[in-house]
Amino acid sequence: MRAPAATTVVGGEVLLSVQNISLAFGGVKALQDVSFDIRKGEVRAIIGPNGAGKTSMLNVINGFYQPQAGSITFKGVTRSHMRPYEAAHGGIARTFQNVALFRGMTALDNIMAGRTLKMRRGFFWQVLRLGPALQEEMEHRLRVEEIIDFLEIQAIRKVPVGRLPYGLQKRVELGRALAMEPDLLLLDEPMAGMNLEEKEDMSRFILDVNEHYGTTIALIEHDMGVVMDLSDRVVVLDHGAKIADATPDEVKRDQNVIDAYLGVAH
Amino acid sequence: MLGQFIETLIGGLLTGVLYALVALGFVLIFKASGVFNFAQGAMVLFAALAVARLAEIMPLPFAIAIAIAIMIALAYAIEFLVLRRLVNQEGIILFMATLGITYFLEGFGQTVWGSDIYKINLGIPREPIFLFQGVFPGGILLDREELLAALVCALLVAVLAVFFQVTRIGRALRAVADDHQAAQAVGIPLNYIWLIVWGVSGIVAIAAGMIWGSKLGVQFSISLVALKALPVLILGGLTSIPGAIVGGLIIGAGEKLAEVMLGPILIRWFDLAGGGIENWFAYVLALIFLLFRPQGLFGERIIERV
């Protein structure tokens, strides 16, 4: 992993911004003219009621969806849409709402899979399994072991992930994303379905990643307490449109947000 | 009696190698995409047709080289026109897509190459080899083509084993088979991986098609060989390259031995007609495996946490 940043600069330069993104599936407008930015080093939360378009937004950012309108600027390069490979290559890692692990593989192999793009040595050396390739494989193993230690999952390294309880699966999935040494980490409901203790663990991991490695994080979360504790800035979506974009405290008091969550009397 | 047994066993094992060759194509694609590629048989037919017709107008090695190029182009077309658009769909959707590819290839193959029975001449003498003539009366008969098939198969397996198991491509393949989106998210280039496995199984189809074609003549029934590969896969496990080989050998040897050894017993003791055992033996064996060991001999354990 990279050397720890001395201080976390919140509100630094813009790492990624989306401009006027619109996305529709047939007649369903998932996103309507949404713009916001994510600054280097911050924890950015995306919240909103069910069906607000939060996951769609993450899918646009890492290239699973191609928006019909708008553009994405990542590390100074503006595109009309991302491709999954470009996103991964450029340093965007993500986790999924419903845990998308490689079920037949062990926790260790899953996290090693996150190193795919970091492997440099050519095919020839791989086949011979010697020289630079062997050394490289060992270096990657070392990094992966660091991540395993960090996430406190040493005991389950060799267990096929399909057998793990849900909370640990989420942790392995975070490990796989971290193995990519991302510049931007997208977390889709990292605490969904967890009990209080697991939520606290996960919160701690997220903050540690952000503070020690300076990784920029964008997360979707339903637990308001978690959002308020973790995030520097919050963007609120409702029915595919942005209705607020501010600090957690401001968002909490915002009348539009309160209406969106509680409903308005007509 | 012993001589007959050994001869049947060897004949069966060599046929089994041919089954294994077809099964190998299935396994490659299943490992890399979780797709059961029903079109494998049609690919074998298409490849055999290509080699047979091209060999009429040019020397065999050139015909094979062009056939390889055609199969790779076909893999590219399948990836670009079909698979790419079905990323992250259910396995059954992808399976249906391969069903469509099957019928297209069978028909298109005839459109391009014609629908007669064609010959592939591998330049191997037709006379069988006789071994151990001093030990057994009449010796043991070996078919040269089947022997060649065994060698080709062994070579292919060795190359594939190195390619897929020693390199990190193996890990990427398993990742893609498990979850398309997650694989993309960690930067595994899905399209590239699919192109590789469909291309490689196209090349395996050429090997299988040439050997079957040289045995039976290149004709429509070659695509049915794929159906014999199904029990092989169930026995060996859908995800295992060694499994495809061992499964092929067991089924090849098993069905021949059952026909020759079990048949007479059924005739003598139960007064049955006794024939046709070869036709059902493989499937009954596969059924038994499905009941008691659904993952096959070498397949990955099926783990499902509910």
Among A169, A184, A168, A177, smallest CA distance to A144 is for: A177
Task: Please give the structure tokens belonging to residue B131.
Answer: 């071994």
Among A263, A243, A189, A180, smallest CA distance to A215 is for: A180
Placement of tokens 């919160």 in the chain? A203
CA A214/CA A42 separation, integer angstroms? 8
Cβ within 8 Å, pair A84-B184 = yes
**Which stretches does DSSP call E strand in chain B?**
129-131, 140-142
pLDDT tens, N- to C-terminus, chain A (266 residues): 444 443 344 557 899 999 999 999 888 899 999 999 999 999 999 998 888 899 999 999 999 999 999 999 999 899 999 988 889 989 999 999 888 898 878 899 899 888 877 776 555 555 555 566 677 778 888 889 999 999 999 899 899 898 888 889 999 999 999 999 999 999 999 988 888 888 999 999 999 999 988 899 999 988 888 888 899 999 999 999 999 999 998 988 888 888 888 776 65
Q: At what angle do helices B225-236 and B2-33 cross, to 10 degrees?
A: 80
What size, in residues, is chain B? 306
**Contact residues on chain A for B177, CB-CB shorter than 8 A:** 104
What backbone torsions phi and psi does residue A238 show, to the nearest 5 degrees? -145, 130
% of chain B beyond a pLDDT of 70: 92
Tell me the average pLDDT of chain B.
Answer: 84
**Contact residues on chain A for B301, CB-CB shorter than 8 A:** 160
**What ipTM score was computed for the predicted complex, to two decimals?**
0.79
* Whole-number pLDDT of residue A9: 45
- What is the sign of the dihedral through the CA atoms of A233, A236, A240 and A242? negative
CA end-to-end span of chain A, whole Å?
A: 53
* Whole-number pLDDT of residue B167: 64
From residue B204, give the alpha-carbon distance in Å to each of A27, A98, A133, B218, B253: 46, 37, 29, 16, 22
pLDDT digits (tens, 9 = 90+) for A219-264: 998 888 888 889 999 999 999 999 999 999 898 888 888 888 877 6
CA end-to-end span of chain B, whole Å?
A: 54
What backbone torsions phi and psi does residue B186 show, to the nearest 5 degrees? -90, 5
* Whole-number pLDDT of residue A7: 39
% of chain A beyond a pLDDT of 70: 89
- What is the sign of the dihedral through the CA atoms of B183, B184, B186 and B192? positive
**Contact residues on chain B for A116, CB-CB shorter than 8 A:** 168, 171-172, 175, 186-188
R_g over Cα of chain A: 19
Nearest neighbour of B179 by CB, restricted to A62, A102, A160: A102
Helix, strand counts (H, E) of chain A: 10, 10
Coil vs helix vs strand at A248: helix
Cβ within 8 Å, pair B189-A129 = no
CA angle A132/A137/A141 to nearest 5° reads 145
Query: Is A84 within 8 Å of chain B by CB?
Result: yes
* Whole-number pLDDT of residue A45: 94
Q: Which residues pair with A216 in a beta bridge?
A: A184
pLDDT value at B224 more than 70: yes
How many Cβ atoms from other residues are within 10 Å of residue A175's Cβ?
A: 23
Which 8-state DSSP code applies to residue A161? G
Question: For residue A29, how far is the Cα from the chain centroid?
Answer: 23
Question: Which region among A102-116, B133-147, B217-231 has the lowest average model confidence (pLDDT)?
Answer: B133-147
Which 8-state DSSP code applies to residue B128? P
CA distance B165 to chain A (A): 9
Residue of A nearest to B178 (CA): A102
CA B250/CA B237 separation, integer angstroms? 13
Nearest neighbour of A163 by CB, restricted to B177, B182, B305: B305
Cβ within 8 Å, pair A116-B186 = yes
Residue of A nearest to B189 (CA): A85
The burial of B304, by beta-carbon neighbours within 10 Å (0-12 exposed, 13-18 middle, 19 or more buried), is given as: exposed
> With contact defined as beta carbons under 8 Å apart, do A93 and A16 qualify?
no
Q: Classify residue A98 as left (phi > 0), alpha (psi -120 to 50) or beta.
A: alpha
pLDDT digits (tens, 9 = 90+) for B254-293: 988 888 888 788 777 877 776 778 888 889 999 998 888 8
Cβ within 8 Å, pair A126-B167 = yes
CA distance B242 to chain A (A): 18
CA B183/CA A38 separation, integer angstroms? 25
What does DSSP say about strands A233-238 and A241-246: parallel, antiparallel, or unpaired?
antiparallel
User: How many CB pairs below 8 Å do chains A and B form together?
Assistant: 91
* Whole-number pLDDT of residue B165: 64
Reported as type and span, the H/E element at residue A187 is strand A184-188
From residue B287, give the alpha-carbon distance in Å to each of A61, B46, B233: 47, 30, 12
* Whole-number pLDDT of residue A8: 43
Among B1, B23, B9, B2, smallest CA distance to B297 is for: B23
CB neighbour burial string for B182-209, b if at least 16 within 10 angstroms, e if fewer:
bbbbbbbbbeebbbbbbbbbbbbbbbbb
Residue of B nearest to A61 (CA): B185
How many Cβ atoms from other residues are within 10 Å of residue B290's Cβ?
A: 13
* Whole-number pLDDT of residue A177: 94
Cβ within 8 Å, pair A123-B167 = yes
